[in-house]
Structure 1
Amino acid sequence: MKRIVIVGVSAAGLTAAETLRRRGWDGHLTLIGDEPHPPYDRPPLSKQILTGDWPAERAVLRSPQDLARLEADLHLGQPATALDVAGRRVHLGGGESIGFDGLIIATGVVPRRLPGSDLAGVHVLRTLDDALALRAALLTGPRVVVVGAGFLGTEVAAAARTMGLEVTVVEPEPVPVRRPFGERIGALVADLHRAHGTRLRCGIPARRLRSAGGRVTGVELGDGTALPADLVVLALGATPATGWLTGSGLRLADGVVCDACCRAAPGIYAAGDVASWPNPHFGTRIRLEHRMNATEQAIAAAGNLLGDATPFAPVPYFWTDQYDTKIQAYGVFPPDADLRVISGDPSNGRFTAAYGHQGVVVGVLGWNAPRELRTLRRLVVERARWTAVTDAGPCPPPTVDRWWQSTRPRTLGVHS
């Protein structure tokens, strides 16, 4: 294999390139990225970059000297537009095409939008330029409405409130972050935001944006009410960036469909947010939009491209920072999983919890408890029986059930 092309130069693409060189592969390496910037980290965009705690250059992942040591051709600001699998070529927007023997796809995701969202004052947050534009707009002191209360939406809301702005979050689910963590943890996240002055409109969807003179003026909700806004952030989730692969012959279904070794086709692998693969550890096909997975999967994909043929079976790790709270988690979190507090007390703002599904511990979560959580990770790694948690003796008060019963009337309302 003399020529390898990596499409995507964020964390996954960069890590794949470094892995190839570290493994001793010395062939011709090409990196293709649709943004003009050198590789940078995305998690700080909704936190330190948005609040101004970090300058933009601090998010850059590698120095120019580090990139030079890769001895790679960098095509920045040149998006890939098509893939010819049979001809082994990647076509770029400027008309150029680049041949390959091996290919790693690491193009990530693109944000979802509402119809008619091409208005002044409407923002999404995916790229460094998005973050800088949003920060500049926040500095004008607008009334902010965030549509979507997943990780990104709640982090943006927290950053805006930290800047002293008036913030309302709209979410069709009954509580924030319900999909990743369920209603009980979502209830705590709701309380956290209310305690910091964020208004929540949960349990009701955003219907459309209102505007005047080409600028957003508010968000109309499903019940007909309207929230005035000078600035709207759309945090509606994202879709895999696979448009350029249409017609390539690769199987596309919620991402690039791969086998357990991250292989999409002979000599073609995928890594990071764009990759869908069967995780042997959990026995299910997954696609993860987590920073650590981008790094780990890129290492695995690069190694398998070089001949390792090792199934990729990680225990996912992810986190979110909001105000003075850090929520960290290992594993997966099915919507019908059981939940039990292991240590600490949710009412005191520090605890750990385990999630059980089909009799096995599938996930663990820590709320301001990083040290304890690292110890609990082994429950997921070892696929511990759920009885190892439930038979471990009484949890510190309040128990999960009592805590949930006591908070439920406050957290499932439409708004606060």
Structure 2
Amino acid sequence: MSGTLVVGASHAGIQLATALREIGDREPVTVVGAESLAPYQRPPLSKAFLHGSADTASLAFRTPAFYAEREITVLTGERVVDVSPTGATTDRGRHLAFDRLALTVGARVRMLRVPGAGLAGVHHLRDVADATRLRRALTGATSVVVIGGGFIGLEVAAAARALGRPVTVVEAADRLIPRAVAPVVSEFYRQAHERRGTAVRLGAAVTAVTGERGRATGVLLADGGHLPADVVVVGIGIVPRTELAEQLGLSCDRGIVVDRCARTSAPGVVAAGDCTVVGADRLRFESVQHATAQARAGAAALLGREEPVTEVPWFWSDQHDLKLQIAGLSAGHDDIVVRGNPDSERFSVLYYRDGALLAIDAVNATADYLTVRKALATGATIPAEHARRADRRLKEMLVASLDA
């Protein structure tokens, strides 16, 4: 074949293939995915799917007819294991030639490296098969330990509590979600989960998973404590898949290095999604929104167009009845403004650096979130001294610049 080969039937992969058609590409497009299922959405796996309010069929991105109408070939149940500048080989021995290549291979879960990590009853959550096994295990669990207090861990904890299971979250850092939110938000989530019956252990290192007859029975902590559990969920991060990129000699540094147009270090090769890091700062964006934007940029780049990602990054997390919405990048902030009372479970946190608005975390405060997201997208701002005025709505304080 000629045309474009998309390796990875991920959100980014399907968006990139679709974008090629939307911008007029008529050359063959083939998407190869390692999973046997048709391409599907992953975010609901730790939310609606675990709760039982979504099934496998509802996760599908598109119908078979959608791909057929656009002449996009989707190969499932095949993993690309070898790649060269002009062709790829799958684990079924199929050879796929191409003129242009897109790597949308995602990431794998970071494994827990302690004795007992391979026991039955220890779960990870990355794909439908993982989620199906975990949902089945939670229905019969007597006690659940979640290792990792990030978004995935807390969403799983919320799902397990909704099923009435005793849950303990174990986080090695001194606060929850430490890399993504300010301490005030971390503390809010600790208290909110504890109010709903989840125990939270901070600054707690796991040294082993204990077991009997091949099955997990608990988690051993560095301080000597032991937490009983017949279901252990590990959510300690992801590792971008770079094996194919390394075969091609592409620049990799904790991910496939791309520019804002999703171009790799090799002509005619783009990458998008969780497998990538962006620019000199090696930024990683683990969100569907960024994967979508990056995929569109990558499709344009394959056709010789320069359409860099300019959209404001955004993200959401549903835990119990708490909707967290994030817009912008808060890294490097030197000031925050808290609007509302965290105890009311409805508040927002605005982040600033040198007086410039960077980002917002909004908990059950969608109006604040939308206002800040609009400001970041249009180059407007909300001066911190104005944002501190609790008697005014944020949208009344938008100004064109800090000097306005």
- Asked if 2 retains the 8 angstrom alpha-carbon contact of 1:345 and 1:396, the reply is no
Q: Which letter does structure 2 place at the counterpart of 1:99?
A: A
Alignment size in residue pairs: 388
SS in 2 for 1:219: strand
- Asked if 2 retains the 8 angstrom alpha-carbon contact of 1:51 and 1:162, the reply is yes
Counterpart of 2:394 in structure 1 is none
Residues 178-216 of structure 1 deviation map (CA, whole Å, 9 limit, x = unaligned)? 210021100001111001000001111212211222111
Counterpart of 1:100 in structure 2 is 98
Counterpart of 1:180 in structure 2 is 180
* Counterpart selection for 2:364 from 368, 387, 399: 368
Counterpart of 2:274 in structure 1 is 273
> 1:335 and 1:213 mapped to 2: Cα distance?
48
Q: Which letter does structure 1 place at the counterpart of 2:16?
A: A
* Counterpart selection for 2:292 from 280, 291, 295: 295
Matches within 5 A, 1:72-221: 72-85=72-85, 88-115=86-113, 116-221=116-221
Against the structure 1 CA distance between its residues 144 and 238, is the aligned structure 2 distance closer, same or farther, given a 3 Å change threshold? same
Offset, 1:243: 2.5
Against the structure 1 CA distance between its residues 394 and 18, is the aligned structure 2 distance closer, same or farther, given a 3 Å change threshold? closer
Unaligned runs of 5+ in 1: 398-416
Q: Which letter does structure 2 place at the counterpart of 1:311?
A: P
Q: Which letter does structure 2 place at the counterpart of 1:75?
A: L
- Asked if 1 retains the 8 angstrom alpha-carbon contact of 2:6 and 2:104, the reply is yes
Write out the 4+ residue segments of structure 1 that deviate beyond 4 Å after TM superposition.
382-385
Offset, 1:161: 0.2
- Asked if 1 retains the 8 angstrom alpha-carbon contact of 2:333 and 2:358, the reply is no
> 2:178 and 2:354 mapped to 1: Cα distance?
20
- Asked if 2 retains the 8 angstrom alpha-carbon contact of 1:89 and 1:100, the reply is yes
Question: Which stretch has the larger CA shift, 159-168 or 15-24?
Answer: 15-24
What percentage of residue pairs aligned between the two structures are identical?
37
Counterpart of 2:251 in structure 1 is 251
Against the structure 1 CA distance between its residues 394 and 5, is the aligned structure 2 distance closer, same or farther, given a 3 Å change threshold? closer
> 1:393 and 1:314 mapped to 2: Cα distance?
23
SS in 2 for 1:273: coil
- Asked if 1 retains the 8 angstrom alpha-carbon contact of 2:262 and 2:270, the reply is yes
Question: Which stretch has the larger CA shift, 223-232 or 284-293?
Answer: 284-293
- Asked if 2 retains the 8 angstrom alpha-carbon contact of 1:124 and 1:235, the reply is yes
- Asked if 2 retains the 8 angstrom alpha-carbon contact of 1:168 and 1:201, the reply is yes
Matched, 1:347 2:348: no
Q: Which letter does structure 2 place at the counterpart of 1:5?
A: L
Offset, 1:336: 5.0
- Asked if 1 retains the 8 angstrom alpha-carbon contact of 2:40 and 2:60, the reply is yes
Offset, 1:2: 4.4
Question: Which stretch has the larger CA shift, 57-66 or 321-330?
Answer: 57-66
Unaligned runs of 5+ in 2: 392-404
Matched, 1:380 2:376: yes
Counterpart of 1:71 in structure 2 is 71
Counterpart of 1:391 in structure 2 is 385
SS in 2 for 1:361: strand
Residues 123-142 of structure 1 deviation map (CA, whole Å, 9 limit, x = unaligned)? 10000111111101111133
SS in 1 for 2:82: strand
Q: Which letter does structure 1 place at the counterpart of 2:106?
A: G
Counterpart of 2:223 in structure 1 is 223
* Counterpart selection for 2:325 from 328, 346, 349: 328
Q: Which letter does structure 2 place at the counterpart of 1:286?
A: L
- Asked if 2 retains the 8 angstrom alpha-carbon contact of 1:7 and 1:106, the reply is yes
Residues 211-265 of structure 1 deviation map (CA, whole Å, 9 limit, x = unaligned)? 2221111111121211111010000100101223333201111111112321111
> 1:33 and 1:6 mapped to 2: Cα distance?
9
Counterpart of 1:404 in structure 2 is none
Residues 313-332 of structure 1 deviation map (CA, whole Å, 9 limit, x = unaligned)? 33101000010010001111
> 2:356 and 2:18 mapped to 1: Cα distance?
36
> 1:206 and 1:156 mapped to 2: Cα distance?
18
- Asked if 1 retains the 8 angstrom alpha-carbon contact of 2:359 and 2:372, the reply is no
Offset, 1:77: 1.1
Counterpart of 1:7 in structure 2 is 7
SS in 2 for 1:187: helix
> 1:138 and 1:183 mapped to 2: Cα distance?
30
- Asked if 1 retains the 8 angstrom alpha-carbon contact of 2:34 and 2:79, the reply is yes
> 2:333 and 2:308 mapped to 1: Cα distance?
27
Offset, 1:18: 0.8
Counterpart of 1:37 in structure 2 is 37
- Asked if 1 retains the 8 angstrom alpha-carbon contact of 2:355 and 2:384, the reply is no
Offset, 1:378: 3.4
Counterpart of 2:398 in structure 1 is none
- Asked if 1 retains the 8 angstrom alpha-carbon contact of 2:2 and 2:97, the reply is no
Q: Which letter does structure 1 place at the counterpart of 2:302?
A: L
- Asked if 2 retains the 8 angstrom alpha-carbon contact of 1:362 and 1:383, the reply is no
Matches within 5 A, 1:233-244: 233-244=233-244
Counterpart of 2:305 in structure 1 is 308
- Asked if 2 retains the 8 angstrom alpha-carbon contact of 1:179 and 1:335, the reply is no
- Asked if 2 retains the 8 angstrom alpha-carbon contact of 1:334 and 1:357, the reply is no
- Asked if 2 retains the 8 angstrom alpha-carbon contact of 1:10 and 1:40, the reply is yes
Q: Which letter does structure 2 place at the counterpart of 1:322?
A: Q
- Asked if 2 retains the 8 angstrom alpha-carbon contact of 1:352 and 1:364, the reply is yes
Q: TM-score, normalised by structure 1?
A: 0.89
Residues 63-86 of structure 1 deviation map (CA, whole Å, 9 limit, x = unaligned)? 12112223223221111112212x
Residues 72-109 of structure 1 deviation map (CA, whole Å, 9 limit, x = unaligned)? 23221111112212xx1122112222111111111111
- Asked if 2 retains the 8 angstrom alpha-carbon contact of 1:82 and 1:245, the reply is no
> 2:102 and 2:74 mapped to 1: Cα distance?
15
SS in 2 for 1:190: helix
